[in-house]
């Protein structure tokens, strides 16, 4: 999360002055998304009563995460493109 703060701040601040409502929406969605995600993850970890990091040290979990990251890297290199729905693209 912390490495994304300068990127998101640059996107929010770099918008035009008449888009203050859009800036507020971006800031609000980032803040609410972060504030909603961490308690849910904590509640799941607390409800299981297990050490969840042990599950992610599994070869299957590591392979899945590495394959997702490899697909994201190939997309960055232009091998394929993923596009959002038109409603999301228009802002």
83's CB contacts (< 8 A; 6+ apart) are 89
Q: What is the pLDDT of residue 23?
A: 73
Distance from C-alpha of 45 to C-alpha of 39, rounded to nearest angstrom: 10
Residues 3, 46 share a domain: yes
Residues 76, 38 share a domain: no
Q: What is the pLDDT of residue 28?
A: 80
Residues 4, 41 share a domain: yes
Q: What is the pLDDT of residue 87?
A: 65
Measure CA 20 to chain center.
23
Q: What is the pLDDT of residue 32?
A: 87
Work out the widest C-alpha separation in the chain, in whole angstroms: 50
**10-residue stretch averages of pLDDT, the chain, 91 residues long:** 67 68 77 89 87 87 95 90 69 54
Residues 6, 46 share a domain: yes
Residues 33, 16 share a domain: yes
């Amino acid at each position: 999360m912390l490495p994304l703060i300068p990127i998101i701040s640059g996107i929010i601040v770099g918008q035009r002055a008449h888009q203050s409502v859009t800036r507020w929406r971006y800031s609000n969605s980032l803040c609410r998304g972060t504030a909603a995600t961490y308690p849910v993850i904590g509640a799941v970890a607390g409800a299981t009563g297990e050490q969840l990091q042990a599950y992610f040290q599994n070869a299957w979990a590591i392979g899945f995460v590495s394959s997702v990251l490899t697909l994201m890297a190939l997309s960055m290199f232009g091998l394929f493109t993923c596009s959002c729905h038109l409603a999301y693209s228009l802002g």
